[in-house]
Structure 1
């Protein structure tokens, strides 16, 4: 049996993230045929289809979702193996008081935190989850050294400095049999005709209002919830649609229902994740090490 190559795994992860071969090829700076061939070879090795092909692009199958989790770990381990000799020569020590918002803690931070703790065993990482307002106050007051948060939501533009590490595009989530999957172009006006499941956690409803304000139409909100998994289950069951970021997207709900995504024709702002800290505060060695680590991420 042939073994998957790192190139095939890297191409797979890119397609899973982008949802389209063309986007993945552009990101990887290779031809679309190279990506398509790598995916086909990988599926032959695995012995199962990893993607569902449809008019809107590529969606992970159940087997593809499982493979994606392992593929990400493989690439992270390889990256750490390359960087570990330099990182472990560091004698950085001390405490790092790190605050995180709910979405960042649940869908972004864990793999980075795990690798940072291994790379810098002498740094004591003190972590707390808090709402944006509390984090901003905590950074300014000195209660926290650093934050991993949604930088696109930051309100205190004068007292804080920040930098974005990830821009996660927002797309429309629909159930697997939804009629909008058959439309070549889908707009916010189309979405306004559908029952809408509104996520409220981390100010998601406030963010949504920003791009809906450009239209006369408004979403027909059928349900509001702070649970991303509740949104996923309701969309998968055909009870409504929603617009959320790729960072929190998973193709299957907890009850095993398929959730597909559609790229909207209207411009939708990305959800930005990054680091934030108080202005005019000198970073400790531990904070500097964490920032550098996240840049290399």
Structure 2
């Protein structure tokens, strides 16, 4: 049986998310399609790639080795199929403002690809809060920004969404809510709540809580996503955060599960922003073109 790109993409998603169910949601396909693809892939490579447990999928030694090859193959295919009209001769400097969450969980891979595609382009990154990013774009201190566009309020800026990351309830393994038929903000309000504050997360959270008759029982506010991860995994509380920052394991190696909430929870949107009516330089145009192609944004 021949290896194909579909199998590789399903394998990578499952390896990163740790659950077939989460991979299916992320890829907008059925769980059975992922399960079948992984079984076919294991038959093709002649090795077991995952240990299947009641709590999810964990990579075997062979799986960890294969993941490295899968990343490399998919990267090469992406580069080959996303050629632009810009050439390696593109040069100059591009100043890019970005926020904490975006630079930590989204941007590094894309910056690495951009620097390989345009070796003559000097990309300068600046990590800032939203207010500083908005002010810097309006005063031409920065050419363009990659940030949480769902937080942008200034009408003098143009935004372009690249992806929407769903927010779900994080709970430790074997939490009673995992066996509940339905979970919403009412049930969540009865649990100790760990409130993330970085990148205006607490403000975004309270906006959707305020639409209900319930409030989170906040026991700790922290700017550290890793702190939230560890506290949830160790049974110290629950949190509602986006799939983009979710990892199935804490630093201590404890499991973090996610639950889809029945209440409408807005997604965390990531995208580009620039000053309205700004004249795009070749570097800005190449930067935007890369992301539009990477996330299949129609022209």
TM-score (norm 1): 0.87
Q: In structure 2, how many angstroms separate the alpha carbons of the residues matched to 1:284 and 1:202?
A: 29
- Matched with 1:229 is 226
Question: Deviations for 1:129-163, whole angstroms, at most 9, x for unmatched residues?
Answer: 0000000000000000000000000121x210010
Q: In structure 1, how many angstroms separate the alpha carbons of the residues matched to 2:66 and 2:190?
A: 34
Query: Displacement, 1:81?
Result: 3.1
Query: Displacement, 1:6?
Result: 2.3
Query: Displacement, 1:166?
Result: 0.7
Matched, 1:273 2:270: yes
Q: How many residue pairs align between the two structures?
A: 288
How do residues 8-19 of structure 1 correspond to structure 2 at under 5 angstroms?
Answer: 8-14=7-13
Structure 2: segments with no counterpart, 5+ residues: 295-299
1:243 aligned counterpart, secondary structure = strand
Change (3 A) 1:131 1:239: same
Contact in 2 for aligned 1:21/1:35 (Cα 8 Å): no
- Matched with 2:150 is 152
Q: In structure 1, how many angstroms separate the alpha carbons of the residues matched to 2:102 and 2:66?
A: 19
How do residues 65-80 of structure 1 correspond to structure 2 at under 5 angstroms?
Answer: 70=68, 71-80=70-79
Aligned counterpart for 1:130 among listed residues 128, 137, 143: 128
Matched, 1:39 2:38: yes
- Matched with 1:27 is 28
Question: Deviations for 1:51-110, whole angstroms, at most 9, x for unmatched residues?
Answer: 6556xxxx44355995796344542232113335x5673532211000000000000001
Aligned counterpart for 2:292 among listed residues 279, 289, 295: 295
Q: In structure 1, how many angstroms separate the alpha carbons of the residues matched to 2:57 and 2:148?
A: 26
- Matched with 1:102 is 100
Q: In structure 1, how many angstroms separate the alpha carbons of the residues matched to 2:248 and 2:54?
A: 13
Q: In structure 2, how many angstroms separate the alpha carbons of the residues matched to 1:148 and 1:271?
A: 13
Contact in 1 for aligned 2:87/2:118 (Cα 8 Å): no
**Aligned-CA RMSD value:** 2.7
Change (3 A) 1:21 1:138: closer
Question: Deviations for 1:16-44, whole angstroms, at most 9, x for unmatched residues?
Answer: 6695289459735xx66443211233456
Structure 1: segments with no counterpart, 5+ residues: none
Structure 1 residue ranges, 4+ long, deviating more than 6 angstroms after superposition:
none
Change (3 A) 1:19 1:135: farther
Q: In structure 2, how many angstroms separate the alpha carbons of the residues matched to 1:93 and 1:170?
A: 39
- Matched with 2:297 is none
Q: In structure 2, how many angstroms separate the alpha carbons of the residues matched to 1:210 and 1:77?
A: 42
Contact in 1 for aligned 2:168/2:261 (Cα 8 Å): yes
Q: In structure 2, how many angstroms separate the alpha carbons of the residues matched to 1:90 and 1:48?
A: 38
Change (3 A) 1:123 1:256: same
Q: In structure 2, how many angstroms separate the alpha carbons of the residues matched to 1:152 and 1:88?
A: 30
Q: In structure 1, how many angstroms separate the alpha carbons of the residues matched to 2:137 and 2:266?
A: 26
Q: In structure 1, how many angstroms separate the alpha carbons of the residues matched to 2:260 and 2:72?
A: 27
Contact in 2 for aligned 1:199/1:224 (Cα 8 Å): yes
